[in-house]
Structure 1
Amino acid sequence: MKISPKTAALLTLLATFFWGSNFQATRVAISTVQPWSASAERFLIAVIAIFIYMSFKKLVTYNALKKNIVAFIFLGAIGVAGFNGALFVGLQTSSPVTAALIMATTPISANLLEAIISKKMPQLIRLLGMLVSLFGVSMVISNGEVVTGGTLNFSYGDIIIFVGSLGWSVYTVGTRAMVTDSTPLETTAWTMFFGALLLTAIAFMYEQPFSSLAAATMASHLAGLYMGIAGSVLAYLFWVIGISIRGPGKTSVFFNFVPLFAILVQIMSGTVPGIIQIIGSIITIFGVLLGQGQLSGLLKKQVLV
């Protein structure tokens, strides 16, 4: 099925919503399950679901795996196990506000990495859009401290989270630069497969997954199921589709919507944001549209009229 760039953009936006909602789902999941075990459960569910779907559609082939096994293992370790593991470990000493701000730098690092690989600098309008959206996200997650002159203290966990954000940048760029003759579905499935294996191994090294999962409540398991299907399979698949059609640079800008959707889920839970969060959200959306070239297209239409 042919997917248009506009449809790919909408799928990318939906992926960021699933990731944004994962924050609330994670709180439910780890309320009665140890963190590494909960993370392993999430991606094992995701792997089982995606391979059942591929088997039903007779899409399971090993050609892509044979050609890209090293890339799949690397990207699974970096973009699945590494990214999620760094976030978990880092949050032990880092604050959620600082962690979200660090993660918001991912589009910039992804675009810079793509520029280095392609030996071509991003367009000025895209860089400007990234900076504007990053500033908007900074306002949202710091409650305006970046404007009032407040300081953010960085801990050892902040460094780990920053390394995790770099890992996600590598995954974003690597799924196109390192993988050949593989559909977005195959890339998603195999990178998740190897990432889930690594997460499971880590869970057995540091926790007791069987006893932890056996003692968990139904709510925790349902949260893990949601994260496995929507927050993992669909989110990663839609993200890879966006990368394959629109490129890593244009796709990575959408990552700034993740904290905004996280706030939206909190609003649905009864927590209403303040004026600073609202203004920051507007700035972020403006920056994303600017970086995508949507505003320049509207301006040209206005000039022609």
Structure 2
Amino acid sequence: MSSIKPYLYLVFFALITGTTFHVAKEALAFFSPSLAGALRFVFATIFLFLFVLVTDRKLLKVDRRNLIVFVSLGIIGVFGFNFFFFMGMKKASPMNAAIVIAASPAIAIFLSYFLLNTKIKFQHYLGTLISFLGVILVISDGSITALANAFHGEGILPILIAASCWSFYSVGMKKYIPGVSTIQTTAFTALFGTVSLLVLTLINGDWNTEFATIPNSAWLAILYMAGLSTFLGYLCWNYGIQAVGPDKAVIFGNLIPVIAMLTSWVLGEAPNVFDLGGAFLVILGIFIVNAKLHRAKLNQRVEVSK
């Protein structure tokens, strides 16, 4: 893929998602995790279908062969990820969870090999490993003790399942609906995932919340997560997946903790040498995985010069 456009979309996704962690704190102070997730996707799904109505109403018609794929990917990628992530977060520390989620690129490469018959090159393994080490450095703050305890806490298995759900969602789009519109895919997978999340909130009794007492700041946080990190974020992510393939795209998710660190810096928490070193490794790993892009551009320029 010679165009840099899909890579910019993937960076935008990481940028928005990285800032979401700080915004989510305000929402989670007043909503339960499952209700916050459900409300986020309810609003995001509304935005997505309004977008479909404005841009191309033909996308409201779904091929029956694609419908089962939308249902499956919505349940796995939206509901499955949120359900297992929040289940794990009840017992796992944020650091443990972030390290496990950072394993998503490796899982995606594994799935790409078996589902897409993708030829995995050495650069994929090397870049993924370097980027993963960068994430660990940012999250652990260089503490060997913290790393030693990272995989011994409770809640790790559900979060690993959540990472697998997200990876399958990313690879599944390329495998089962490669020619389908990104907008249609995002809208309908969000719809079926949202329905599943709403069922979960009913089971949990989350709707007993005193909504009248919730401040505007919490609702604005929900709308931020719905409009930016979910509506725009998912569109950008899914477009990137379809354009460059999950084996190259998923590693951009490792930018998320780096963006979160930079957001903290803007808010007054200065990064240390481990944060900056980790950020460098994450970016280096991404460039290594996508090195073919730069070689292709160089070769193209050489051909033009001839």
**TM-score, structure 1 as length reference:** 0.91
Contact 1:29 1:221 in 2 (8 A): yes
Q: Cα distance, 1:239 vs. partner?
A: 0.7
* Alignment partner, residue 135 of structure 1: 133
Contact 2:178 2:242 in 1 (8 A): no
The 1:145–1:200 alpha-carbon spacing in structure 2 relative to 1, beyond 3 Å, is same
In the TM superposition, 1:138-157 aligns within 5 A as 138-145=136-143, 150-157=148-155
56-65 or 154-163: bigger deviation: 56-65
One-letter amino acid of the counterpart of residue 42, structure 1: R
Q: Which of the numbers 241, 247, 253 marks the counterpart of 2:251? A: 253
263-272 or 94-103: bigger deviation: 263-272
Distance in structure 1 (CA, Å) of the matches to 2:77 and 2:27: 21
The 1:296–1:230 alpha-carbon spacing in structure 2 relative to 1, beyond 3 Å, is closer
The 1:150–1:70 alpha-carbon spacing in structure 2 relative to 1, beyond 3 Å, is same
The 1:202–1:60 alpha-carbon spacing in structure 2 relative to 1, beyond 3 Å, is farther
* Alignment partner, residue 29 of structure 2: 31
The 1:108–1:236 alpha-carbon spacing in structure 2 relative to 1, beyond 3 Å, is same
One-letter amino acid of the counterpart of residue 254, structure 1: F
Unaligned runs of 5+ in 1: none
Contact 1:114 1:249 in 2 (8 A): yes
Distance in structure 1 (CA, Å) of the matches to 2:243 and 2:145: 36
Q: Cα distance, 1:32 vs. partner?
A: 1.2
143-152 or 123-132: bigger deviation: 143-152
Distance in structure 2 (CA, Å) of the matches to 1:295 and 1:238: 19
Q: Are 1:290 and 2:288 counterparts? A: yes
In the TM superposition, 1:1-305 aligns within 5 A as 5-145=3-143, 150-179=148-177, 181-209=179-207, 211-293=209-291, 297=295
Q: Spell out, residue by residue over 1:232-279, the C-alpha distance to the aligned partner (whole angstroms, 9 max, x if none).
A: 011111011011111111111111101111112212222112111111
One-letter amino acid of the counterpart of residue 206, structure 2: Q
Q: Helix, strand or coil for the counterpart of 1:27?
A: helix
Distance in structure 2 (CA, Å) of the matches to 1:72 and 1:19: 23
The 1:147–1:291 alpha-carbon spacing in structure 2 relative to 1, beyond 3 Å, is farther
Contact 1:139 1:146 in 2 (8 A): no
Distance in structure 2 (CA, Å) of the matches to 1:4 and 1:236: 22
Distance in structure 2 (CA, Å) of the matches to 1:12 and 1:280: 19
Q: Cα distance, 1:61 vs. partner?
A: 3.0
Q: Helix, strand or coil for the counterpart of 1:129?
A: helix
The 1:63–1:295 alpha-carbon spacing in structure 2 relative to 1, beyond 3 Å, is closer
Q: Helix, strand or coil for the counterpart of 1:51?
A: helix
Q: Spell out, residue by residue over 1:126-154, the C-alpha distance to the aligned partner (whole angstroms, 9 max, x if none).
A: 21111111111111111113599744242
Q: Cα distance, 1:17 vs. partner?
A: 1.3
Contact 2:52 2:59 in 1 (8 A): no
Contact 1:137 1:256 in 2 (8 A): yes
Distance in structure 2 (CA, Å) of the matches to 1:88 and 1:234: 23
Distance in structure 2 (CA, Å) of the matches to 1:87 and 1:265: 22
Identity of aligned residues (%): 28
Contact 1:126 1:293 in 2 (8 A): no
Q: Spell out, residue by residue over 1:24-56, the C-alpha distance to the aligned partner (whole angstroms, 9 max, x if none).
A: 111111111222111111000000011111112
Distance in structure 2 (CA, Å) of the matches to 1:296 and 1:6: 10
The 1:47–1:4 alpha-carbon spacing in structure 2 relative to 1, beyond 3 Å, is farther
Distance in structure 2 (CA, Å) of the matches to 1:149 and 1:226: 33
Distance in structure 1 (CA, Å) of the matches to 2:234 and 2:2: 18
Q: Spell out, residue by residue over 1:141-181, the C-alpha distance to the aligned partner (whole angstroms, 9 max, x if none).
A: 11113599744242331110000000001000001111254
How many aligned residue pairs are there? Answer: 300
Q: Cα distance, 1:182 vs. partner?
A: 1.7
